[in-house]
Amino acid sequence: MELKGIMLSTITEHSLIEERDNILIGLSGGPDSMALLYALLEIKEKIPFLIYIAHVNHGVRGKDADEDEKFVEELSKDLNIPYYSTKIDMEGYAKLHKMSSEDAGRKLRYGFFREVLSKIGGGKIAVAHNKNDQAETLIMRFLRGTGIDGLGGMEYKSGNIIRPLLDISRDEIENYIEKNRIKTRLDKTNLIPIYNRNKIRLEAIPYIEKNFNPNIIDTLWRTSNIMSEDSNFLNKYSLNKYKEYMKIKKKDSIILDRNEFIKEDDAIKKRIIRHSINDLTGSLKGITSKHILDIVELFDKGETGKSINLINNIVAETSYDDIVIRLGNSEDRISYNYNISLGKPIYIEETNFFIEAKILPRSEAEINFKDRFIKYFDYDKIEGGLCVRNRLRGDKFIPLGMNGMKKVKDLFIDEKVPLNKRETIPIVTDDKNIIWVVGFRISEKHKITSSTKNVLIIKYVKA
């Protein structure tokens, strides 16, 4: 079957487009989004809907990007399709908000798409992710260790975003482009240094195709479909159980029936806890499987009065026949303090990270100042032993590049760190001073200089 036919059945099967929908196409000008545009134009003859085009100039590689923009603008005029465009400062935004370029680009892009949607009176955003993108996503997530919920991959429909090309391979797109003599621009987004994804596409997949499975793209696409099915069922089932076992729901707490909860399998218990946290705080960001596991254990044991403090000010506790997930008050504040031994990673349970410290002579230390989570200190200026803890009232230090003392609290305010995050951010100290507010600033006094002989290297790494 050719592209249009496959896409039509994808659209029908997953109810991606309905009659009279406004469909906003994110059009880079590259082969994927161009194929999406032309195939949607064909399908519009069967399902009447409205097409709009949006183009985002990412503000990288100046002239080329401007030409892409012009190309899409002229095309929209020729095809007589309403056209919207914007120029974003992806790199600047990434720097400012301390996120990867990829995340920054995505955030700004979808922000703009939503803006346009609200101008045109609502609708759906069609993006051009294809079967190969899906396979790449699955491999990345498998290597990162996501369970079945992640291995479902990108969804055909998530909120108002639709992905009509998800059943179509890059080869099929190229054939379609060639057969229909569609002019395209080289897809610049593929050249954006999304390091891991490019490595997966250019190295890992060809290696797998050659050595293990020549049909890996199709195989992983099937895997994603099966995983979605299983994961959707598990989430639906556990959501029903969550509602069934809920006794009370308030703004700052949720109480569940312990006697029913403990009868469930771990697979369901864990999901019920996730549903509770998500329901209470609107997000699962930062919640690790270790956190969930700890709560399951707490709830299983059911010792009245026992509780766990999690990140984001979340508290889990048991009380007779009740299990409770709630927002903490000031007494529940997290507090930790670990001694750091040189050469031996220390696990920080409260953040699910390791901290590692070692000493190297200046001549042997390879220094990379850009990494937020590896920092270098003049070892001979360190007084006494090292430890890592969360902030204490009145914490202050001289941040790198400054002359005077600054309160850690003020640093957090300047850096726009949300209140509930401030409690967990690790602070490395020696016996006298703060030497590093991890992820933010090292101390001016302890920085390495031309006279540094021994470098203390401290790494903060995900467990």
Residues that bind its own copies (CB under 8 A): 140, 142-148, 196, 199, 203-204, 207-208, 211-213, 216, 219-220, 222-223, 226-227, 229-230, 232-234, 236-237, 265-268, 270, 289
- 420 Rama sector, left if φ>0, alpha if ψ -120 to 50, beta otherwise: alpha
Residue 30 among known ligand-binding residues: yes
If the CB atoms of residues 67 and 203 are measured against its own copies, the closer one turns out to be: 203
Residue 31 among known ligand-binding residues: yes
Q: Is 214 exposed, middle or buried (0-12, 13-18, 19+ CB in 10 A)?
A: exposed
Compute the least distance from the CB of residue 144 to its own copies, in Å: 7
If the CB atoms of residues 212 and 369 are measured against its own copies, the closer one turns out to be: 212
Compute the least distance from the CB of residue 8 to its own copies, in Å: 19
Distance of CA 256 to the CA centre of its chain: 30
Rg (CA), the chain: 26
Q: How far apart are the first and last CA of the chain?
A: 46
Compute the least distance from the CB of residue 230 to its own copies, in Å: 5
If the CB atoms of residues 12 and 304 are measured against its own copies, the closer one turns out to be: 12
If the CB atoms of residues 33 and 223 are measured against its own copies, the closer one turns out to be: 223
Distances (CA, A) of 34 to 28, 37, 86, 230: 8, 5, 18, 33
Residue 101 among known ligand-binding residues: no
If the CB atoms of residues 82 and 286 are measured against its own copies, the closer one turns out to be: 286
Compute the least distance from the CB of residue 197 to its own copies, in Å: 11
If the CB atoms of residues 96 and 226 are measured against its own copies, the closer one turns out to be: 226
CA angle 226, 270, 277 (to 5 degrees): 110
Residue 395 among known ligand-binding residues: no
Residue 361 among known ligand-binding residues: no
Compute the least distance from the CB of residue 130 to its own copies, in Å: 18
Residue 351's closest CA among 280, 422, 265, 297? Answer: 422
Compute the least distance from the CB of residue 196 to its own copies, in Å: 7
If the CB atoms of residues 225 and 420 are measured against its own copies, the closer one turns out to be: 225
Compute the least distance from the CB of residue 224 to its own copies, in Å: 10
Residue 123 among known ligand-binding residues: no
Binding residues for ATP: 28-33
